[in-house]
A and B are shown apart, each in its own frame.
Chain A
Amino acid sequence: MKYNIGALIVGLLFAIGLGVSGILQPANIIGFLDVFGKWNPALLFTMAGAVGVHFITYKLIRKRKTPMFSKDWFIPTRQEITPALVIGSLIFGIGWGLGGYCPTVSVTSLASFEMRPLVVFVSIIFGMLLFWFLDKKTNLKSKLE
């Protein structure tokens, strides 16, 4: 139960952080990506804050034998740069720029009860299911690894 409540608290905190940083307003994401137009660097500070904190805590936390509520670590260990990684990130980035929503923001923004986040969220789910379907049919991902 601690495990689940922990995840809930992390989700809640994460959402608050997104709100404070301004990322829940898609105009700010587009503004950050608009380097050749009206660039808004605020998101750079958000990245610096998040990565700055976690860069330090990551090392400290990994000194422990195990996490507090689990027997094992679940940390990706792969190193190689694959076509799947690059092509997938490219597709993700185009969508991110076009819409101003990443998956985290789309979920949190559902709380605004506005139409646009809902449209984007449903489309993200559709995109994930499309991936699942294509991957199952064609082994797309393993071919690109």
Chain B
Amino acid sequence: MATEWIMGLVGGVVIGIAVSLMLLWNGRVTGVSSIVYGVLVPIKGDIAWRWYFIVGLLLGGLSLQATAPELLTVELQTKAWIGSLAGILVGFGAMLGGGCTSGHGVCGVSRVSPRSIVATIVFMAAGMAAVVLLRKTGLLI
């Protein structure tokens, strides 16, 4: 249990360093939903770095898969349609709300942006409610 906390903290510090480098080097917020959206609905002249970032995420994932595949274990089992519905809500909600866990939750909260703090409280509370719903309906195995 204690190791989980320590690993959680160490991972968080690495994420903090990553988003700091994005700011120091490129002057940008690491808002992953916006980065992906900017590739889907391309903004002229503002695309290449987004692809590089996405490739970086994938390379990071592949290196984890090669060295410690247990970190990518999908133990959670719910019906496929729930995963699908979840994804649609995540994609739609992030764009309407102007950010997700990275843009609002990490970068926005770090610069004490009132919008991001509100967004983070709202999506955490909503996530907690969704998990209660999953439990109550017996959909979480």
Which residues of A pack against B, CB within 8 Å? 2-27, 30, 33-37, 40-55, 57-58, 61-62, 64, 66-70, 72-76, 78-81, 84-104, 106-114, 116-117, 119-132, 135, 140-141, 144
B residues in contact with A91, CB < 8 Å: 89, 92-93, 96-97, 126
User: B60 touches which one: A12, A36, A51, A131 (CB < 8 A)?
Assistant: A12
Contact residues in A for B41 (Cβ distance below 8 Å): 128-129, 132
Q: Are A30 and B61 in contact (CB under 8 A)?
A: no
CB of B57 within 8 A of CB of A15, answer yes
Could you tell me the distance between the alpha carbons of A15 and B90 in the complex, rounded to whole angstroms?
19
- For A83, give the chain B residue with the smallest CB separation: B96
11 interchain pairs (CB within 8 A)? A21-B10, A36-B135, A45-B9, A75-B27, A78-B115, A91-B92, A94-B126, A103-B102, A107-B61, A123-B88, A140-B96
Our pick among B11, B32, B108, B135 for the contact of A21 (Cβ within 8 Å) is B11
Given contacts A91-B92, A110-B58, contact A7 B23 (CB under 8 A): no
Question: Which residues of chain B are within 8 angstroms of A132 by Cβ–Cβ distance?
Answer: 37, 40-41, 95
B91 touches A131 (CB 8 A): yes
